[in-house]
Amino acid sequence: MLVATFLLCSTPVHGHVSPMLDIARELIARGHSVTALTGSRFETRARAIGATFVPLSGIADFDDRDVPSYLPDREKYSGLAQAQYDIQTIFIRTIPDQYRAVRALLDSEDFDAIIVDTAFAGVSPLLFGMDARPPVLGVGVSPLTQLSRDVAPTGMGLPPSSSPVGRLRNRTLNLLARRVFFRDTQRVAERMAAEVGAPPLTHFAMDISRAFDAFLQLGPIGLEYPRSDLSPNVSFVGTVPPAASTAPRPAWWGDLDGTRPVVHVTQGTIDNRDLDRLIRPTIAALADEDVLVVVSMGGRSVEWLGEAPANVRVAEYLPYEDLLPLTDVMITNGGFGGVQHALSLGVPLVVAGDTEDKPEVAARVAWAGVGVNLRTGRPDARALRRAVNTVLGDPGYRARAAKLAAVTATYPAMDLIEAALLEKGSRRVE
């Protein structure tokens, strides 16, 4: 007997869809019914976990593996202008198509609650009083973006500060973000709201976490900046475990015998076309070090890497639940899900990320003392060698990562998420 029926919506970007489908998988295993609304490319994966799949349409349905197809003019911009272009194209201009898809489903079926990823702004017309609706819960699949007197605006990679000087900095930067830096993005959001007949925007388009009936931030609270003015609808739910890997152990697995420190490097499954960004510099940096470098190609052919030094082991995919407990340092471009997974197992990090939310992920890793932030997405071999040796040479990094893992283990993530959905789902919002 089904317990509840949920609509799950996600922006069709791997780092957003993956944790949302992990949640859907667990809800379905508990007897709930889940309809997944996201990009067409994720249909097979959604159906495989037992979800009912509905594709987005129009410009909201894109393939994140083919960047030029949905960000055709990206190379014309740089810095803040590029960030605005990305945000507007991926998350703001897609609002009408996202909203129409949600509205069509709500008109055809009764859902107990809607659960969406951080950036699925197509529900914003519902949140701000456009229609009667089921409760809408947000899931923080990236670092929390909520504006605060204690934190600088997201995207700047600045550490928090609640000192008088720090709060003055934050207040100034938050004001500039709203009225100057992202003024054009705000105007686009206002036009998108008007297109679907929504009320005029009274909120900052990049900060709607307060508007959800509940906002469930993934990760332990120790990985997020403290905010004395955090809105009461936000709760931290810990890390949802990813699905068990089907990747086999490669033939060289026996080399992970503890005789040398293991340094794992990955560029994830999307940002791995240019191996000169992180994988090849890491290999060059550690070629003469007494470590074993384990490379995941994120699905790309091992042959694509070419010849590697004797201390390097390579695989297309790796069973992370087996690898990470044997890893001494993980080098990553800062995907939020991968960082959470590593830290949930007590693995310290070296982070080199400069796109999307990766600078904010890297900044939090450094702030929490569980790794080194290289402050670039294309580090050189010298910087990588120095960072790895810093983490290996200072046991404090592993100790703090282990402490964060212990805290993470206290969060019954799916119990908290399910309880919030059922509690909010018992009340329809008029």
Q: How does pLDDT run across 352-395, given as a tens digit for each residue?
A: 988 888 999 999 999 999 999 999 999 999 999 999 999 999 99
Backbone angles phi, psi at 324, to 5 degrees: -60, -40
307's CB contacts (< 8 A; 6+ apart) are: none
For residues 235-253, give the mean pLDDT: 92
Gap between the Cα atoms of 62 and 39, Å rounded: 6
For residues 278-306, give the mean pLDDT: 92
Q: Which of 372, 418, 404, 400 is nearest to 219 (CA)?
A: 404
Q: Dihedral through CA 399, CA 323, CA 296, CA 318, nearest 10? A: -150
Q: For the domain covering 5-239+411-425, report its CATH number.
A: 3.40.50.2000
Chain segment 45-103, per-residue pLDDT in tens? 999 999 999 999 999 999 998 889 999 998 898 888 888 899 999 999 999 999 999 99
Give Cα separations from 159 to 90, 154, 288 (angstroms): 27, 10, 34
Three-state DSSP state, 218? strand
Please report where in the chains the tokens 């060059």 appear, as a residue. 284
Query: In this predicted model, which residue has the larger pLDDT, 129 or 414?
Result: 414
- CATH architecture observed for domain 251-408: 3-Layer(aba) Sandwich (3.40)
Q: Which two tokens stand for residue 353?
A: 């990320």
pTM: predicted TM-score of the whole model, two decimal places: 0.93
- Whether 350 and 356 have beta carbons less than 8 Å apart is answered as no
Give start-end residues of each CATH 3.40.50.2000 domain in the chain: 5-239+411-425, 251-408
Q: Which of 119, 66, 126, 111 is nearest to 90 (CA)?
A: 119
- Whether 275 and 305 have beta carbons less than 8 Å apart is answered as yes
Expressed in angstroms, the distance from the first to the final Cα of the chain is: 28
Dmax (CA) of the chain = 65
pLDDT score for 430: 47
